[in-house]
Amino acid sequence: MNPQTPASDLAAAVLALMGPEGPLARHDPAYRQRDEQTAMAQAVARAVEEPHTLVVEAGTGVGKTYAYLIPLLLSGRRGLVSTATKSLQDQLYWRDLPQLCERLGVPVTTALLKGRASYLCRHRLAQARHAPEGLDRMSLRLLARVEDWARSTASGDLSEVPGLDERTALVPLITSTRENCLGSECPAFNDCHVMQARRQAMAADLVVVNHHLFFADLALKEGGMAELLPAVEVVVFDEAHQILDTGLQFVATSLGTLAVVDLARDLRVAGLAHARGLQDWLGCTQELEQAVRELVLACDGAQTSDEDAPAHQPPRGTRRIRWTERCSGRSDAAARPVEVAFSEALAQLEAAMRAAHGCAAAVADAHPDLQRLAERALELLARLAVFQAPLAVDRVRWIDLGVNQARLIDTPLDIRELMHQSRAQTHRAWIFTSATLGDEPGLGWFRAQAGLEDAQVLSVGSPFDYANHARLWVPTHLPAPGEPGHNEAVAQMGARCAARLGGRTFVLATTLRALPIIGEQIRQVFESRGLNIEVLVQGREPKRALLERFLQAAQGPGAVLVGAASFWEGIDVPGSALQCVVIDKLPFPPPDDPLLEARTRALKAQGRDPFSELFVSETTIALKQGVGRLIRSETDRGLLVICDKRLHTKGYGPRMLSALPPMSRLAEAGAVAQWLDELKLQS
């Protein structure tokens, strides 16, 4: 990329370009200069020039994508932009970047780089057809569609295949992982879509990735970010608040039973295909699968009648179990039955994996697949050894237990060390931006968690007129969270607001358990009043389908959408289709979460207040995400209802309220009804 302006003039060039006489205004009659966007763009320009690390909280409507892309494109420096999700990645690459490059007249080569699971593996596609065990009729039809598409695709990006959901059972069979990729030994290596995408990224001026890919490759030194980063001069994280959780996934050591099941399946297929009769393939893989079943049972504690188990467990499929509940470190004589069962299950898994490794290693020369399978078994054994060793003092362990699967996790408390190492590699600009990074101007909580204490900070508010366009009501007459009848009261509140508006309402819950309760209560209210408003509940249909139905219903009788975590952020419903957001309670993290417990202990050891520094900060950031669903454009108007009287009765209430957009506050139901009537007239 050839520099468009001298570095010392970059901030001035950005200001001129974004002004009323600049190319953005000339190309787009609807464009208008926003002071908040300009301030952010100039701060990014200065970070790129020097370079240094910049953390920017930019409120809804600032237009932060253009605010970081414009100075990056004008600077002439090679850049990498990481987004939170693959859908945002596609939006940035296919819509925002081309539009901006055209308007600026900047000759830039760009590349889109996703993780392995997004690209077709031709070698595994051939295997899927020749060994279709486990595929149902629908998967076989999808496989035929993929085979037809594979003949003409240039990118190999599976998002091009109509009707192929990334969650389908077919996708793991036709994509590669780091564990099962054959690398240069693969018969389809010359046509590898993953390698092609990486070559394009290495040659591009600007590469668009996602957080999962960034941290996965960075932590594993796989050859993606590890090779690309040294050649990049600017790194931008959009939706940066999500890097704290995403990054932690990849600095952790984890062992999932699904990985063992995949090993067993691949070992059986490859062994029978390339070394039939040379090893007991069915026997060794059946032992692996039996060991997995025993481990899942031991994690669940189902093999014992442990009297010390908690009386109230979350629903199966959502449990996070403390490591000490299954492995206290006591001697065998003092250990509880559940601990003995867990220890024996780990030993059984180790024995089965050693046997599987022995089978593959004995005939590894027969085919590259068998060589790689032997290596995979060793890698899994190394991970298992971590969980058989004592826990390090600066780490925490737990078990994520799902339906018929479990994952053992050993992790540091945060991503500080990883970020310190990454930033120390070379002298480059790092930009972290999001609409929600903290509850105070210094954004201290985010910077501390991400190891960015030395970063420069900018916080710019939203250009939207919240005071005139939005109202906030925190009703004090409802039962407090945890008291009997709270969910029912939330449902009544959502139903009343939606009935007055003709739908156009989101009810956001903090737990999945509350969804069916609230949804059913709202449905009963509508039925009793003869209202034809549709009630859409998360989990009953795919997220995209629910949103489409919600938007369609806005043109008719209306709808209420009841959702939890995935609807608190990343959802954009501008206009009058959404005029009310009801939040059931403050989204405090669960106090018994093992990671939070470990962080709490660490803060207490330093003489600090974990409730204020950790719980209130995390809750406020999550609350701001949910609140952000209401006003999405300059003309939007709406009502926010937070059904949690603690905002009025607890000392942290004013702190949380002050972190929210400056909405006008309503104090009584009559004013709320009047505002809802006004909103309905507008729609």
**CB-based contact 170:115 (threshold 8 Å):** no
What is d(CA 157, CA 117) in angstroms, rounded to the nearest whole number? 9
Query: Tens digit of pLDDT for each residue in 512-554?
Result: 899 999 999 999 999 999 999 999 999 888 888 899 999 999 9
> Residue 497: what pLDDT?
97
Strand partners, 535: 560
Tally of CB atoms within 10 A around 651:
9
What CATH code is assigned to 255-412?
Answer: 1.20.120
Averaged pLDDT, 113-132: 84
> Residue 310: what pLDDT?
35
Helix (H, G, I), strand (E, B) or coil at 80: strand
Q: Please give the CATH superfamily to which domain 466-682 belongs.
A: P-loop containing nucleotide triphosphate hydrolases (3.40.50.300)
Average pLDDT value over all residues in the chain: 89
Tokens of 235: 């790194």
Question: Regarding predicted confidence, which is higher, 477 or 132?
Answer: 477
Helix (H, G, I), strand (E, B) or coil at 532: coil
> Residue 302: what pLDDT?
57
> Residue 25: what pLDDT?
87
> Residue 170: what pLDDT?
87
Confidence of residue 65 (pLDDT cuts 50, 70, 90): very high
Tokens of 46: 């200065």
The bridge status of strand 234-238 relative to strand 429-434 is parallel
Averaged pLDDT, 179-186: 85
Confidence of residue 330 (pLDDT cuts 50, 70, 90): low
> Residue 134: what pLDDT?
63
Instruction: Answer yes or no: same fold for 7-115+195-249+417-460 and 466-682.
Output: yes
> Residue 672: what pLDDT?
96
H or E element: which one contains 79? strand 79-83
Query: Tens digit of pLDDT for each residue in 335-374?
Result: 688 888 999 999 999 999 999 999 999 999 999 999 999 9
Question: Regarding predicted confidence, which is higher, 338 or 330?
Answer: 338
Confidence of residue 132 (pLDDT cuts 50, 70, 90): very low
Domain ranges of the chain: 7-115+195-249+417-460, 117-194, 255-412, 466-682
Question: Regarding predicted confidence, which is higher, 522 or 24?
Answer: 522
Residue 427 has pLDDT above 90, yes or no: no
Confidence of residue 636 (pLDDT cuts 50, 70, 90): very high
> Residue 309: what pLDDT?
34
Query: Tens digit of pLDDT for each residue in 165-177?
Result: 777 888 888 999 8
The alpha-helical segments, DSSP class H, found in 428-542 are: 444-450, 466-469, 486-501, 514-528
Tally of CB atoms within 10 A around 241:
24
> Residue 410: what pLDDT?
95
Query: Tens digit of pLDDT for each residue in 439-451?
Result: 888 999 999 999 9
> Residue 351: what pLDDT?
97
Question: Regarding predicted confidence, which is higher, 317 or 195?
Answer: 195
Exposure string for 144-159, b = 16+ CB within 10 A, e = fewer: eebeebbeeeebbbbe
> Residue 185: what pLDDT?
86
Strands of the sheet with 405-412, listed across from one edge: 253-256, 405-412, 395-402, 319-322
CB-based contacts of 208, cutoff 8 Å, min separation 6: 80, 81, 82, 83, 89, 92, 93, 97, 110, 111, 112, 113
Confidence of residue 133 (pLDDT cuts 50, 70, 90): low
What is d(CA 572, CA 320) in angstroms, rounded to the nearest whole number? 31
Question: What does pTM read for this prediction?
Answer: 0.88
Tokens of 541: 């249909």
What CATH code is assigned to 7-115+195-249+417-460?
Answer: 3.40.50.300
**CB-based contact 392:324 (threshold 8 Å):** no
Averaged pLDDT, 673-680: 95
> Residue 306: what pLDDT?
36
